[in-house]
């Protein structure tokens, strides 16, 4: 495996810089799919925080990517469950709150409000402040005896 001396922040800045140069110098092919898919599940929590800032600061075309990032944040919150209360998850808590606030800020520019806002709110409060209901076995009604 080749080790690269660039961190994610520098890499994203280079992609943006060279992407702008490429757009200016190469002809656009309308038949080519230029979609960049970010694999959020491969990023650390700190990298996700930085990526959220970059996406929010970029074009409104990136707002859909913020929603995809929110999906990963929700997944991590659900995986973490009640251990989100522990101190070593402070970085994840910050990411959750930043994602929640960012989704609220971009709502006026979206076609419809994101359902991820409610999902983050519900799950965060469930695991941070709530108590999960215990599993209860179903109650069997007594049988009527005909006389």
**Which stretches in the chain have pLDDT values below 50?**
1-4, 133-136
User: What residues does each domain of the chain span?
Assistant: 41-128
Per-residue pLDDT at 79: 95
Per-residue pLDDT at 49: 95
Per-residue pLDDT at 90: 95
Tokens (6 digits) for 68: 């995809």
pTM of the model: 0.68
Tell me the C-alpha distance between 24 and 29, whole Å: 13
- Classify residue 103 as exposed, middle or buried by CB count within 10 Å of its CB (0-12, 13-18, 19+): buried
């Amino acid at each position: 495996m080749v080790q690269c001396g660039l961190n994610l922040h520098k890499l994203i800045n280079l992609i943006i810089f060279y992407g702008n140069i490429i757009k200016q110098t190469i002809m656009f092919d309308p038949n080519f799919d230029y979609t960049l898919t970010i694999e959020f599940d491969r990023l650390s929590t700190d990298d996700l925080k930085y990526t959220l800032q970059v996406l929010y600061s970029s074009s409104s075309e990136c707002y859909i990517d913020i929603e995809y990032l929110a999906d990963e944040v929700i997944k991590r919150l659900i995986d973490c469950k009640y251990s989100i209360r522990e101190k070593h998850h402070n970085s994840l808590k910050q990411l959750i709150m930043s994602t929640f606030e960012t989704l609220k800020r971009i709502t006026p520019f979206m076609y419809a409000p994101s359902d991820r806002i409610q999902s983050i709110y519900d799950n965060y409060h469930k695991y941070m402040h709530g108590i999960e209901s215990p599993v209860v076995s179903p109650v069997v009604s007594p049988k009527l005896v005909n006389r």
